[in-house]
Amino acid sequence: MTDTYDYIIVGGGNAGCVLANRLTVSGKHTVALIEAGEEGQSHWVDVPAGFSKLLTNPRHNWRLVSEPEKNTMNRQIAIPKGRGLGGSTLINGMIYVRGQPQDFDGWAQRGCRGWSFDDVLPYFKKIEDYDAADGPLRARGGPLPLTTVKERPEIGQAFIDAAKAAGHPENDDYNGESQDGFGYYQVNQHSGRRVSAAAAYLDPVRKRGNLAIITGAQVSRILLEGRRAAGIELRQHGQTRQLHARAEVILAAGAFHSPQLLELSGIGDGGVLRAAGIEVAHEAVGVGANYIDHYCTRMNWRVTQPVTLNELTRGLSLVKSVLQYALTHKGILTYGTGLVHGFMRTRPDIAGPDVQLFFMHASYANAAERKLDKLPGMTIGVTQLRPESRGTIHISKPDVATAPTIRPNFLSAAEDRRAMVEGMKMTREVVAQAPMNRFRGAELSPGADCQSDDDWLQFARQNGQTIYHASGTCRMGTDDGAVVDPALKVRGIDGLRVVDASIMPTIVSGNTQAAVFMIAEKGADLILQDAR
Break the chain into its structural domains and give their ranges.
Answer: 1-62+81-144+194-293+393-403+470-532, 150-184+295-384+411-463
In 3D space, the residue among 302, 356, 333, 306 whose CA is nearest the CA of residue 149 turns out to be 333
Whole-angstrom distance, CA of residue 182 vs CA of residue 47: 26
pLDDT at 240: 96
270-287 residues labelled b (16+ CB within 10 A) or e (exposed):
eebbeebebeebbebebb
Contacting residues for 260 by C-beta, under 8 A, at least 6 apart: 253, 288, 393, 395, 400, 404
pLDDT at 1: 56
**pLDDT tens by residue, 452-464:** 999 999 999 999 9
pLDDT at 80: 93
- C-alpha dihedral over 105, 106, 108, 112, to 10 degrees? -140
Helical residues (DSSP H) of 315-386, grouped into ranges: 315-328
pLDDT at 366: 66
- % of the chain at pLDDT higher than 70: 99
Q: What is the largest CA-CA distance in the chain?
A: 69
Q: 3.30.2130.30, 3.40.50.10440, 3.40.50.300, 3.30.410.40: which CATH number matches 150-184+295-384+411-463?
A: 3.30.410.40
Low-confidence ranges of the chain (pLDDT < 70): 1, 366-370
Q: How far apart are the first and last CA of the chain?
A: 27
pLDDT at 261: 98
Whole-angstrom distance, CA of residue 253 vs CA of residue 430: 39
DSSP state of 449: T
| HSE (side-chain half, CA atoms, 13 Å) at 399 | 4
User: Annotated catalytic residue: which of 60, 341, 361, 469?
Assistant: 469
Whether 1-62+81-144+194-293+393-403+470-532 shares its CATH topology with 150-184+295-384+411-463 is answered: no
pLDDT at 372: 87
For residue 10, what are the β-bridge partners? 34, 251
DSSP state of 87: G
pLDDT at 367: 60
Contacting residues for 219 by C-beta, under 8 A, at least 6 apart: 10, 34, 36, 232, 233, 234, 253, 261, 400
CATH code of the domain occupying 1-62+81-144+194-293+393-403+470-532? 3.50.50.60
For residue 8, what are the β-bridge partners? 32, 249
For residue 128, what are the β-bridge partners? 144
pLDDT at 460: 98
Contact criterion met (CB below 8 Å) for 295 and 360: no
Residue 186 Cα distances to 94, 297, 302, 511, angstroms: 8, 21, 26, 11
**329 assigned to active site:** no
